[in-house]
């Protein structure tokens, strides 16, 4: 059976309820009719999935698998949660919203995980040297997963309208390139210091092709924490979510993410997840959002 869009109308309370399942690929299905409720399930790690629901504000999304059960309330028409599932296997997740429920198949085997725009990598969850984006594309000066090409272009254009000259300066990095980059930092600053700002090979979001580093064309405070106080840094914090990006490593989250604040490092998660995180200011990391263990170290 194809993993791509399987849509099934089910009886809801009042309006027709559509639950769309994408086992692999993109979350495009979540994007069409504003009045329809839709659910997308994507793998996040080999033993966890994200349930992303386009519902009505204030409605509660519940998902369960075996004895695991999680709920979250929608903010601005979106609810997102993480759910534990069998490791590297197919599972069945029961999703409930607005008095209707549906069982969805989800796949956390490596091929499905590689295709997921919500895949998480951190100091506890590694990629192998075989992991690379299925399709690469250029956006300005950087190479990224092809799904980021248009969002980056749209974001740079929107920034320009606000008189902010935004540039992407780093995108996809191969396992081998990250290995050499980290080795250089380790030689310069020592392992302990290097670990606070650089990922070891297999642990970088840049290897996913789903992260970019940005700066202002003025290069003011480039790759420094103080970037957040520049006009460009402020614009990014206020608007990146409109293009599907989140500031992945925020201030004060080192115990969860393992990194100092990186206000220039943007992770693509798609419009719905970015919007939900922007509304839920209390959830500052993908680890918290998907209920993953904190990853302060290796």
Which residues lie near Zn ion (CB under 5 A)?
213, 265
Which C-beta is closer to Zn ion: that of 241 or that of 265?
Answer: 265
Residue with the CB atom nearest Zn ion in the bound state: 265
Kindly state the smallest distance separating residue 265's Cβ from Zn ion, in Å: 4
Which C-beta is closer to Zn ion: that of 106 or that of 212?
Answer: 212
The C-alpha atoms of residue 14 and residue 104 are separated, in whole angstroms, by 22
Which C-beta is closer to Zn ion: that of 195 or that of 213?
Answer: 213
The C-alpha atoms of residue 99 and residue 104 are separated, in whole angstroms, by 16
Which C-beta is closer to Zn ion: that of 48 or that of 267?
Answer: 267
Phi, psi for 198 (deg, rounded to 5): -130, 145
Phi, psi for 112 (deg, rounded to 5): -70, -40
Kindly state the smallest distance separating residue 171's Cβ from Zn ion, in Å: 9
Which C-beta is closer to Zn ion: that of 24 or that of 120?
Answer: 120
Let me know: does 296 contact 279? Beta carbons within 8 Å: no
Kindly state the smallest distance separating residue 199's Cβ from Zn ion, in Å: 9
- The number of CA neighbours under 13 Å toward the Cβ of 45 is 20
Kindly state the smallest distance separating residue 197's Cβ from Zn ion, in Å: 9
Where are the strands (E) in 98-226, listed by range?
100-107, 136-139, 142-145, 166-170, 211-216
The C-alpha atoms of residue 157 and residue 151 are separated, in whole angstroms, by 10
Kindly state the smallest distance separating residue 110's Cβ from Zn ion, in Å: 24
């Amino acid at each position: 059976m194809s993993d791509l869009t399987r849509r099934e109308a089910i009886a809801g309370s009042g309006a027709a309820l559509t639950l769309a399942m994408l086992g692999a690929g993109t979350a495009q299905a979540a994007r069409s009719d504003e009045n329809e409720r839709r659910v997308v399930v994507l793998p996040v790690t080999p033993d966890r999935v994200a349930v992303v629901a386009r519902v009505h504000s204030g409605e509660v999304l519940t998902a369960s698998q075996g004895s695991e059960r999680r709920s979250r309330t929608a903010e601005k028409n979106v609810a997102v949660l993480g759910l534990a599932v069998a490791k590297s296997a197919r599972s069945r997740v029961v999703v409930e919203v607005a008095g209707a429920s549906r069982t969805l198949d989800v796949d956390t085997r490596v091929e499905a995980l590689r295709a997921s725009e919500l895949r998480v990598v951190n100091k506890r969850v590694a990629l192998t040297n075989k992991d690379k984006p299925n399709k690469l594309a250029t956006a300005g000066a950087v190479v990224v997963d092809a799904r980021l090409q248009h969002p980056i272009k749209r974001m740079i254009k929107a920034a320009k309208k606000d008189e902010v000259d935004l540039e992407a300066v780093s995108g996809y990095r191969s396992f081998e390139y990250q290995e050499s980059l980290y080795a250089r930092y380790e030689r310069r600053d020592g392992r302990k210091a290097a670990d606070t700002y650089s990922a070891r090979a297999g642990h970088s979001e840049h290897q996913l092709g789903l992260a970019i580093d940005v700066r202002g064309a003025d290069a003011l405070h480039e790759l420094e924490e103080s970037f957040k106080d520049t006009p460009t840094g402020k614009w990014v914090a206020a608007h990146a979510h409109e293009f599907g990006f989140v500031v992945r490593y925020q201030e004060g989250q080192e115990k969860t993410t393992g990194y100092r604040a990186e206000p220039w490092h943007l992770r693509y998660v798609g419009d719905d997840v970015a919007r939900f995180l922007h509304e839920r200011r209390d959830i500052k990391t993908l680890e918290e959002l998907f209920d993953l263990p904190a990853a302060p170290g290796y």
